[in-house]
């Protein structure tokens, strides 16, 4: 039976899930159900499946799963994949990398919402600066370990690549490549992967 993924085309978390699906060669088992989401409006059919009313939400075998980290774990399990090491410190490190890159994407989405939803008079420059600080230190952390990352394809690398792609899409003015040439070189390799290219219109 095909899985159904509730999605919006500009969610980096949806793209992360679909990159995993392509890497695991099971993207054709997923049917995308497009949702028109707005942060101030909840979609009752989506809330029924996920009380947070967020995408990505996946329905598999009459059960719904969220958030993106759980869905990626499910896809990896279903495909018998190797995107997440099974145990030990290796597993924890991949999950930690995922958490850091997810946090980077959360900060970028919050900046986007603050600037999109509020008029200038009500915008908090302090709030925006605090989110920028998270992005800066997350990029520094990834940059400092990039030489040992090599060409390994795991959930941490996928989430990092998704986050960098989202920065290019929504916050290009950050210009992260200037400060982090090693990260830029790594991402140039990633951008060529078919999973990244196949999901380009998702973000």
Q: Which stretch in 53-61, 89-97, 180-188, 191-199 sits in contact with ligand GSH by CB under 6 A? A: 53-61
DSSP 122: G
Among 3, 5, 11, 23, binds ligand GSH (CB under 6 A): 11
**How many residues appear in the chain?**
203
33 binds ligand GSH (CB under 6 A): no
Measure Cα distances from 21 to 16, 80, 180 in Å.
9, 12, 29
165 binds ligand GSH (CB under 6 A): no
50 binds ligand GSH (CB under 6 A): no
Size of the site for ligand GSH (CB under 6 A): 13
37 binds ligand GSH (CB under 6 A): yes
Residues whose CB falls within 8 Å of the CB of residue 74, separated by 6 or more in sequence, listed in order? 58, 60, 65
39 binds ligand GSH (CB under 6 A): yes
13 binds ligand GSH (CB under 6 A): yes
We find the least distance from the C-beta atom of residue 142 to ligand GSH, in angstroms, to be 18
How many C-beta atoms surround the C-beta of residue 177 within 10 A? 15
Q: Which residue number, 11 or 195, has a Cβ lying nearer to ligand GSH? A: 11
H/E stretch holding 12: helix 12-23
We find the least distance from the C-beta atom of residue 186 to ligand GSH, in angstroms, to be 22
How far apart CA 64 and CA 82 sit, in angstroms, is 23
Cis peptide before 17 (omega within 30 of 0): no
Q: Which stretch in 51-59, 131-139, 145-153, 193-201 sits in contact with ligand GSH by CB under 6 A? A: 51-59
The sign of the CA dihedral 119, 175, 137, 67 is positive
Contact between residue 20 and residue 76 where contact means Cβ atoms under 8 Å apart = yes
Give ∠ CA 171-175-176 in degrees, rounded to 5: 100
6 binds ligand GSH (CB under 6 A): no
Among 15, 21, 22, 53, binds ligand GSH (CB under 6 A): 53
Q: Which stretch in 48-56, 92-100, 156-164, 188-196 sits in contact with ligand GSH by CB under 6 A? A: 48-56
Residues whose CB falls within 8 Å of the CB of residue 151, separated by 6 or more in sequence, listed in order? 189
Considering only residues 58-117, where is the footprint of ligand GSH by CB under 6 A? Answer: 67-69, 102, 109
Binding-site ranges for ligand GSH (CB under 6 A): 11, 13, 37, 39, 53-56, 67-69, 102, 109
């Amino acid at each position: 039976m095909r899985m159904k993924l509730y999605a919006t085309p500009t969610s980096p978390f949806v793209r992360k899930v679909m990159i995993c699906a392509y890497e695991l060669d099971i993207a054709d088992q997923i049917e995308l159900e497009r949702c028109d989401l707005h942060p101030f409006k909840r979609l009752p059919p989506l809330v029924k499946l996920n009380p947070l009313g967020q995408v990505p939400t996946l329905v598999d075998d009459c059960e719904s799963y969220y958030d993106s980290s759980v869905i990626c774990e499910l896809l990896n399990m279903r495909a018998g994949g190797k995107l997440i090491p099974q145990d030990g410190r290796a597993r924890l490190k991949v999950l930690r990398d995922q958490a850091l890159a997810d946090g980077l994407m959360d900060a970028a989405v919050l900046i986007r919402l603050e600037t999109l939803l509020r008029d200038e008079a009500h915008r908090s420059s302090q709030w925006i600066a605090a989110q920028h600080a998270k992005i800066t230190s997350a990029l520094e952390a990834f940059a400092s370990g990039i030489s040992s990352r090599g060409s390994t394809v795991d959930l941490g690398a996928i989430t990092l690549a998704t986050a960098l792609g989202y920065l290019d899409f929504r916050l290009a003015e950050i210009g992260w490549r200037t400060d982090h040439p090693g990260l830029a070189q790594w991402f140039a390799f990633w951008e060529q992967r078919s999973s990244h290219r196949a999901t380009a219109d998702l973000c």
